Amino acid sequence: MLVLLGLLLCLTPADALTAFPPKYQVGKLNGDVVLKCNTSEQQVTWTQNGETEPMAEVVANGQTLTIRGLDMPATGNYSCWASNVLLDSTYVVVSSTREEQMNISCQAESYQGSFHCSWISDHSAVFRARLTRSDGSLGEWVLVAGHRGQFSVSFVDASFCPFAEELHPLQLQLEGLSNTSHINFSIPFFVRDIVRPNPPQGLTVQWQGEQLHLAWAPPASWPLPKSYFTLLYWLQYELPNGTQVDKYMEDTEVWLQERVQRVRISCQDPYASHAWSPWSAWQDIDAAQKHRLRVH
């Protein structure tokens, strides 16, 4: 798994929004922000978070409202009204200037163009993300799932070709919004750098005479043909005295002479990243010993 390090601008802790507002505007701290009411009405009134007296120095001029010296108390939802009818709303936040580091872990199971990113944040915020493809085209914004400070998002790039050389990186654009602050940054990456296969599947164990035959298959999510998308397998087995033995191979079967207690297996793409798949579950050989198939 490749850990991508990005600079995340600090979000001021606040009650988390549940979604991105339909319309929002980002201003600099202590700077001026000009809001425009989307209406044909010439005379409107303004509220901040439902209050008719905004917590900021504001200058109203018909359809335009200017916030002087934007600070945290001046952030929030600004709405324009005419005769008690809501005309338009704009959520105002501050562009954060304090930097901190956040680890974003992105992972792909194969070269099918799908991948998953996750991170942890102590800040109460709502995030969304989108993908800039290698050809420069932009994907749709995807709302990021979050629970108790843990966030994750999944993408599918239908245009990604598993047989083509990656000449240009993908870009993950991440945007976060709290009740007061806003962040926006991008992370470039190649799929080949974040590939981590699923565990091999279908591990079978069979005694033939005094030899133990092990066989397995590539992960179901791994692309075909096997001759092109090769895998390196890491077989680990345990002897009766507790010693663990490691074997590395490209074949999907092996014969063992040792008295084996249990076995498990992992795999990796030997030509891309060095990330091994998770281990398969330990398989107890005792069960196989009770059903030996002796070949005479």
Are residues 131 and 157 in contact, defined by beta-carbon separation less than 8 angstroms?
Answer: yes
- Residue 110's domain comprises 2-8+97-193
Query: Going by C-beta distance under 8 Å and a sequence separation of 6 or more, which residues neighbour residue 291?
Result: 207
User: pLDDT tens track of the chain, all 296 residues?
Assistant: 333 333 333 333 334 577 889 999 999 999 999 999 999 988 899 999 988 887 778 988 889 999 999 999 999 999 999 988 999 999 999 987 555 556 788 999 999 889 899 988 766 778 899 988 877 788 889 888 887 778 899 988 888 888 888 888 889 998 888 888 888 888 889 999 999 999 999 999 998 888 999 999 999 999 989 889 999 999 999 999 999 999 999 999 999 998 899 999 999 999 887 789 999 999 998 655 544 433 33
Q: Per the domain annotation, does 83 fall within a domain?
A: yes
Side chain identity, residue 25: Q
Same domain, 214 and 283: yes
Task: Answer whether residue 16 is part of any domain.
Answer: no
- Asked if residue 174 and residue 110 are part of one domain, the reply reads yes
Candidates 183, 49, 48, 173; CA nearest to 123 is 183
User: Strands 45-48, 244-249: parallel, antiparallel or unpaired by DSSP?
Assistant: unpaired
Residue 21, in any domain of the structure: no
- Residue 18: inside a domain: no
Where is the domain boundary, 140, 169, 193?
Answer: 193
**Final residue belonging to a domain, choices 193, 211, 235:** 193
Looking at 149, 175, 193, the residue that finishes a domain is 193
3-state SS, residue 10: coil
Co-location of 105 and 35 in the same domain: no
Asked whether residue 131 falls in the same domain as residue 180, the answer is yes
Looking at the structure, tell me whether residues 219 and 283 fall in a common domain.
yes
Is 19 a member of any domain?
A: no
Cα 111 from Cα 221, distance rounded (Å): 9
Answer yes or no: is 169 within a domain.
yes
Q: What burial letters (b/e) apply to 196-218, b meaning 16+ CB within 10 Å?
A: bbbbbeebebebeeeebbbebeb
Q: Residue 167 carries which side chain, given as an amino acid letter?
A: L
d(CA 116, CA 260): 37
C-beta separation of 85 from 134 below 8 A: no
- One-letter amino acid at 142 equals V
Q: Are residues 177 and 103 in the same domain?
A: yes
Residues 158 and 206 in one domain: no
My answer on whether 213 and 143 are in the same domain is: no
Residue 294 lies in a domain: no
Q: Are residues 215 and 283 in the same domain?
A: yes
In-domain check, residue 22: no
Place of tokens 């108790």: 148
Q: Is 288 left (phi over 0), alpha (psi -120 to 50) or beta?
A: alpha
Provide the domain count of the chain. Answer: 3
| CATH label of the domain that carries residue 72 | 2.60.40.10
pTM for this structure? Answer: 0.72
- Tell me, yes or no, whether 181 and 206 share the same domain: no
3-state secondary structure of 73: helix
Co-location of 76 and 37 in the same domain: yes
30, 217 in Cβ contact below 8 A?
no
229 lies in the same domain as 177 = no
